[in-house]
Amino acid sequence: MLYFIGLGLSNEKDITVAGLEIVKNASRVYLEAYTSILMIETEKLEEFYGRPVIVADREMVESSADEILAGSDTSDIAFLVVGDPYGATTHTDLLLRARELGIPTRNIHNASIMNAIGACGLQLYNFGQTVSMVFFLDNWKPSSYYDRIKENREIGLHTLVLLDIKVKEQSLENMARGRKIYEPPRYMTVAQCCQQMLETEEERGEKVYTPKSLAVGVSRLGSEDQKIVAGTLEQLAEADLGKPLHSVVLLGKRVHELEIDFIREFAIDKDIFNAAYEAEYGEHST
């Protein structure tokens, strides 16, 4: 059996009891380590599990999947995923490869940013499409996310923005020369995301949102030191939410008064927050 096991959001103790029992008895244990990260070192996991953990980077998962699948038709292999197993399409691809080989699979679910974001006070059924924000380069500033936000905003829904992480990435030069030299890890912040959102709005000019539009920034969600702040995009573009991982939610126009009452307590400046809410939501504001 090939098991896809969600680890939750924060540390080694977030794994479910069912997941832990499987890990302790598996022949091999892999940790997917590039679509997201836990807030602890791999050694912490090994100490808690009492088992060695093989770190599976992008190259292994996408190019050497046979190595992970090997032997899983006759023994149990555990593939650990931060959050929930279906938080990234790569894991679906691995599952489909297993099916083609006749390898049985099972999923052990856990909390992910997709449901834990409700902790910020916005109701999950008021969310639209989730989008991803990548690091802009001087000659590459993709804006397809803007179109998805536009679609969400047109029907009044909130947008969860997942922020880019760069782990074990090569520079273009090293990649071209075939040199296995990797860049230091980088994790996008709430401030960087909001700056890029404002840059795209300025370039596209479709008024999907403005610097005064309300948003919520979160960091290290699910940990003891999680941080949640609310404010305008221009405020969040200057906010420091500390260590990764970060996410952003842009409010939709169908925001409920109870949601506003909840997130107002996270406001960087309540006067600015209230003024922005009044300006954007008019007669629906409190």
Instruction: Determine which of 51-55, 129-133, 169-173, 227-231 has the lowest per-residue pLDDT on average.
Output: 169-173
Q: Closest Cα partner for 260 from 208, 214, 193, 212?
A: 214
* Per-residue pLDDT tens digits for 58-109: 778 777 788 899 999 899 999 999 999 987 766 788 899 999 999 999 999 9
* Per-residue pLDDT tens digits for 190-206: 999 999 999 999 999 99
Residue 175's pLDDT band (cuts 50, 70, 90)? low
pLDDT at 2: 96
**Which residues sit in the known binding site for S-adenosyl-L-methionine?**
9, 84, 87, 112-113, 163, 221, 246
* Per-residue pLDDT tens digits for 138-167: 999 999 999 999 999 999 999 999 999 987
pLDDT at 184: 79
Q: Given a cut of 70, is residue 261 above it in pLDDT?
A: yes
Structural domains in the chain plus CATH codes: 2-111 (3.40.1010.10), 114-282 (3.30.950.10)
Contact indicator for 243, 197 with CB cutoff of 8 Å: no
Question: What is the distance between the alpha carbons of residues 248 and 230, in angstroms, rounded to a whole number?
Answer: 10
Q: Where are the beta strands (DSSP E) in the chain?
A: 2-6, 28-32, 54-56, 77-81, 105-108, 131-133, 159-163, 165-166, 186-187, 214-219, 227-232, 246-250
pLDDT at 60: 80
- Residue-wise DSSP of 180-233: ---PPPEE--HHHHHHHHHHHHHHH---S--TT-EEEEEESTTSTT-EEEEEEH
**Three-state DSSP class for residue 239:** coil
Q: Given a cut of 70, is residue 259 above it in pLDDT?
A: yes
From first CA to last CA, the distance across the chain in angstroms is: 54
Q: Closest Cα partner for 221 from 6, 14, 20, 5?
A: 14
More confident residue, 178 or 42: 42
**Three-state DSSP class for residue 60:** helix
Six-digit token pair at 148? 């998805």
Mean pLDDT computed over 6-23: 95
**Three-state DSSP class for residue 250:** strand
> pTM for the complete prediction?
0.91
Residue 179's pLDDT band (cuts 50, 70, 90)? confident
**Which residues sit in the known binding site?**
9, 84, 87, 112-113, 163, 221, 246
Six-digit token pair at 238? 């200057």
Q: Closest Cα partner for 209 from 201, 221, 218, 217?
A: 201
Q: Closest Cα partner for 113 from 206, 223, 34?
A: 223
Which residue type sits at 70?
A
